[in-house]
C-alpha cells in the first residue's frame, strides 16, 4: 500500500451514487434466499460471482432484478442498508445518499411501506451508531412507463419527509428523460431535488434533456457529456455535479479499461466530478476501491483526490450547516 492509498482510505468522503439493492453481497443474497424460501439459480457464492460477467448495462440489470427478489421483509431492507452503511463507515464515508428502486419491489407484491420502513430505520441507526448523515433518494425505473412512476410517487406521499430526492435509473437506451417530465415536475413541486442517470450508455442529448426537462440538480454518470463541448461548458457554468462510478463503467464496458476513463478529463474541464460505487456488490468495490482503482489507472495526484472528496460534500443534498461541518472535518483531516 502506498502513502497515497493510505491517504485515500482515511480521507473523509461522501457517497452520492449507491443503489442499496446493488450492495447485496452474494453471501447475504444466499442467506436471505434461505431465510425467505426464495429460489435462486445459484448454490454457492462462487456460482453467484461467476454469473457477474457483463458486456453492457442490461446484462447487469437482469441479474440485479433477480438478486433483489430475496428482499421480502422490513428486516431484509434494514439488514441490507445497515451492512452497506457499516462498510461505508469503515471507509470513512461520512455522508451517504442512497438510491432505492421501489418499483423493483412493489411489482413483486412488497408494499412500499415495508421497503421505506426498513431503509429508514437503517438510515436513522446509521446516523446514531455510525455518525453517517444523508438520506434516501427514490428512483423511478425508466424501462417502465410514466404512469407507473406516478403511482410510485403517490405511494411515497405519506413518507415524503423520509426522502431527500427523486432519481431515474435502469435501462437508459431508448428511455429518454423526456418520458418522465410530468412526474419529475410533480416531485419538484413537492420540494424534492431531482437527479437522473444520463450519459452512461445514452447520448449527451439525454444529459441535456435531464437538465432541461427534468430540472435535475446532479447527473448520475454523465460520461457521454464529454462528447459535447457546449454541454460541458454549461455543466461547468451551472456547477452541475457528476456522480461518476469508475468500476461500474469498467464492468459494464462503458470504458474499455480504466486508463481510458474520462475522470481526469472531467476534472481538467472544470466539471464537478465525484467518485462513487454504483452497485458495489456487483462491480468489485466500494467507494474506496473506486478511488484506488481510478487513482492508479490515471495516476491522479493527491490534489485531484482531495478535489474529488471536496466535490462529494459540495454536491450533497443537505443543510448548509451539515455541509459546512463535513467540509471543516475534511480541512481538519488535511491539516493533520
Contacts with ligand ADE by CB under 6 A: the residue count is: 11
Q: Does 57 bind ligand ADE (CB under 6 A)?
A: yes
Query: To the nearest whole angstrom, how small is the minimum distance from the Cβ of residue 321 to Zn ion?
Result: 28
Residue ranges with strand state E in the chain: 13-19, 93-100, 133-141, 163-169, 195-198, 218-221, 241-244, 272-275
Query: Which span (86-94, 256-264, 271-279, 325-333) binds Zn ion, by CB under 5 A?
Result: 271-279
CB of 311 to ligand ADE, least distance (A): 20
Asked whether position 97 contacts Zn ion by CB under 5 A, the answer is no
What is the bridge-based pairing of β-strands 133-141 and 93-100? parallel
> CB-hemisphere CA count at 13 Å for 33?
20
Q: Which of 21, 74, 200, 201 is catalytic?
A: 200
Q: Is residue 204 a contact partner of residue 278, using CB atoms and an 8 Å limit?
A: no
Query: Count of CB atoms within 10 A of residue 52's CB?
Result: 15
Q: Is 200 annotated as catalytic?
A: yes
For ligand ADE, the binding residues in 87-116 under the rule CB under 6 A are none
Q: Does 197 bind ligand ADE (CB under 6 A)?
A: yes
Could you say whether residue 278 binds Zn ion (CB under 5 A)?
Answer: yes
Q: Which cell is 115 given? A: 421497503
- Rule CB under 6 A: say whether 134 interacts with ligand ADE: no
For residues 72 and 88, which CB has a smaller minimum distance to Zn ion in the complex? Answer: 88
End-to-end distance of the chain based on CA atoms, in angstroms?
20
Q: Are 252 and 284 in contact (CB under 8 A)?
A: no
Q: Which of 114, 133, 170, 290 binds ligand ADE (CB under 6 A)?
A: 170
| 248 is an interface residue for ligand ADE by CB under 6 A | yes
Query: 231 vs 65, 205, 206, 210, 234, CA distance in Å?
Result: 33, 9, 11, 12, 5
25 binds ligand ADE (CB under 6 A): no
Q: Return the one option of ligand ADE, Zn ion, none that residue 200 interacts with (CB less than 5 to 8 A, by type).
A: ligand ADE
The binding site for ligand ADE (CB under 6 A) comprises 19, 22, 57, 64, 169-170, 197, 200, 248, 278-279
Catalytic residues, by residue number, are 200
Amino acid at each position: 500500500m502506498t502513502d497515497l492509498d493510505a491517504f485515500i482510505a482515511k480521507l473523509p468522503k461522501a457517497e452520492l451514487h449507491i443503489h442499496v439493492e446493488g450492495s447485496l453481497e452474494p453471501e447475504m443474497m444466499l442467506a436471505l434466499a434461505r431465510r425467505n424460501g426464495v429460489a435462486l439459480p445459484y448454490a454457492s457464492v462462487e456460482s453467484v460471482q461467476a454469473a457477474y460477467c457483463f458486456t453492457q448495462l442490461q446484462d447487469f440489470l437482469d441479474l440485479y432484478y433477480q438478486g433483489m427478489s430475496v428482499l421480502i421483509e422490513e428486516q431484509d431492507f434494514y439488514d441490507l442498508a445497515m451492512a452497506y452503511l457499516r462498510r461505508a463507515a469503515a471507509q470513512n464515508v461520512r455522508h451517504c445518499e442512497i438510491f432505492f428502486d421501489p418499483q423493483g419491489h412493489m411489482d413483486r407484491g412488497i408494499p412500499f411501506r415495508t421497503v421505506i420502513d426498513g431503509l429508514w430505520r437503517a438510515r436513522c441507526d446509521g446516523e446514531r451508531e455510525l455518525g453517517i448523515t444523508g438520506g434516501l433518494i427514490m428512483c423511478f425505473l425508466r424501462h417502465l412507463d410514466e404512469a407507473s412512476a406516478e403511482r410510485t410517487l403517490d405511494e411515497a406521499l405519506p413518507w415524503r419527509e423520509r426522502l431527500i430526492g427523486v432519481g431515474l435509473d435502469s435501462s437508459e437506451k431508448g428511455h429518454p428523460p423526456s418520458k418522465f417530465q410530468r412526474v419529475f415536475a410533480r416531485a419538484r413541486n413537492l420540494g424534492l431535488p431531482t437527479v437522473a442517470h444520463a450519459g452512461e450508455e445514452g447520448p449527451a442529448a439525454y444529459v441535456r434533456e435531464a437538465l432541461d426537462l427534468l430540472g435535475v440538480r446532479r447527473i448520475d454518470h454523465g460520461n457521454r457529456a464529454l462528447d459535447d463541448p457546449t454541454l460541458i461548458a454549461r455543466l461547468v457554468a451551472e456547477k452541475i455535479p457528476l456522480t461518476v462510478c469508475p468500476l461500474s463503467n469498467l464492468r459494464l464496458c462503458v470504458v474499455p479499461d480504466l486508463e481510458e476513463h474520462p475522470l481526469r478529463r472531467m476534472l481538467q474541464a472544470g466539471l464537478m466530478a465525484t467518485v462513487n460505487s454504483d452497485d458495489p456488490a456487483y462491480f468489485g468495490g466500494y467507494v474506496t476501491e473506486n478511488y484506488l482503482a481510478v487513482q492508479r489507472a490515471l495516476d491522479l495526484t493527491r490534489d485531484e483526490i482531495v478535489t474529488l472528496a471536496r466535490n462529494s460534500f459540495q454536491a450533497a443534498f443537505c443543510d448548509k450547516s451539515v455541509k459546512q461541518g463535513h467540509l471543516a472535518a475534511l480541512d481538519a483531516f488535511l491539516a493533520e
